Chains A and B, each alone.
Chain A
């Protein structure tokens, strides 16, 4: 954080709303991205990213600077998304229309049908959408671990604090989620190779 940012932070703390707007504009994109990976849709991402920044604004006086402002802001974002995801999964479980109860240890909900995995996997926008779809197919608790680890780059300890679960749980959830993603990617790749060879 530069000196200019520090100044903006101080001004924000004293209630200067323009300073705050300027300050968060530096992190807006990242906050939005985190929310998007958590929530899946642009609509939800917009709502929750804004919610997170409003929360940050309300709490800014209490920000003590133990962590960088950036880290603090991303944590709030993750918290807001976590709460929303949990709320939704609860609603889903109690909903009568969807009497589906996840089996113990089941990692995914419905998996997207991607028989056409792009060849140029490392640069395509298609790949990005494909991976995003894979993450969204995870059940909420697994999805949160993956986003916190791979997108936010949090440590296991930080994740366990945010998820309010043990280190062991973080470890095993992350391991299973990664394995599922890997298996799915491999399977899809094989499938699309088959499709391609058939087309030829």
Chain B
């Protein structure tokens, strides 16, 4: 080995981190090599110098700042409404998860089996089912939200897990109203558009909402059409939907709910923390007498006030969006089939008889169709029940058999 190779071992040698053989070889060499001994001495000096580095005094405001951050941390912990946590701890979770599963299976089966082009009423009838499915998805998404804690250093040695946030201090029993931005859209075929528009206004009034915009027009074919945007209080949303459907034949509908609960309460909590910080800064400002300190606090104060404004407007926007649901309704006038078929004389009578026959036949077919669809949508449930029944039956027989033996 050359001197260079030995010199590479010196660092570990100083730390007693060489194997016995390596250390022995090195010591033999050191006995006979002046320059490597010199190198060892210099390295030791360097290490000593580094180790003699003093501890450093933190700046004066360090402790105070730290305490403030800790307070803030504690506040945010207490105020943060951990929906996930509540869900997870709820004894109902397994049950509701099972229920959601069954619901999803049934609904998705039902929807796939639904013969869509068959009639527009079915579409309307199934709209609520689709809605509840999207709701189920929503809550599933909520449950998957990552925990609030910050990721950590993977220091398993000391058992620091990734979700440090201590959630147990979350105030229990506090009621958190769900915040959902609810939207719906309906296209309805009605006999008389102006009449229906009036009805719509009455509905909106009676539910405590207002008309955000309304347009009524007459098309080229002498038929009216209208589009209205209603703002209905969140609590009256379902009632409004029901009454809108009664106006006529719903040919198209969609509803969506954007759950912003977490976002809402997070914003609220942050706002509270910032207001508290603002207060403590104000107190600090009273105490400060050095110009430099005063300027510093002022700067921080104006920064925090800006942030407060941003959060306030965000909260206001969310409040507006969630307190009133938005419903877009478009009204079209029905093409009255009777008019087109109506003819005079005997042929007229004949055709009217035929129309009646066709109509009643249609109704019959529709009725059968509905039955099939109804059956289809509960089929998975029936299968499920049958499977369960079979299992119970099999189990009993198995037990009985064992007893006999």
Contact = CB atoms under 8 A, between A and B. Distances in A.
A76 B160 contact: yes
Contact of A161 (B73, B157, B159): B157
B155 A179 contact: no
Contacts, number: 145
A131 interface: yes
Interface residues of A, number: 62
A58 B164 contact: yes
18 contacts: A15-B169, A17-B71, A29-B57, A33-B54, A33-B56, A37-B53, A50-B65, A58-B73, A63-B158, A66-B158, A67-B157, A72-B158, A121-B49, A151-B50, A174-B12, A175-B8, A181-B50, A182-B45
Interface in A44-86: 45-46, 49-50, 53-55, 57-59, 61-64, 66-67, 72, 75-76, 79-80, 82-83
A28 interface: yes
Contacts of A195: none
B63 A25 contact: yes
A174 B70 contact: no
A46 B10 CA distance: 36
B166 interface: yes
B57 A64 contact: no
B58 A59 contact: no
B80 to A, nearest CB: 13
A59 B42 CA distance: 42
Interface stretch (B100-108, B146-154, B333-341, B342-350): B146-154
Contact of B46 (A28, A62, A128, A181): A181
A45, A58, A67, A161: which has the most chain B beta carbons within 10 Å?
A: A58
A20 interface: yes
B399 interface: no
Given A46-B65, A161-B157, A150 B73 contact: no
Contacts of B65: 46, 50
Contact of B49 (A21, A131, A171, A179): A131
Contact of A32 (B52, B58, B152, B161): B58
B166 A58 contact: yes
Interface in A163-181: 171-172, 174-175, 178-179, 181
Contact of B58 (A46, A76, A80): A46
Give me the 10 closest cross-chain CB pairs, A-B, nearest first.
Answer: A175-B11, A79-B153, A58-B164, A150-B50, A32-B58, A33-B55, A182-B46, A33-B56, A59-B164, A36-B56
A151 B56 CA distance: 12
Contact of A185 (B49, B69, B155): B49
Given A146-B50, A186-B42, A64 B159 contact: yes
B58 A29 contact: yes
B92 interface: no
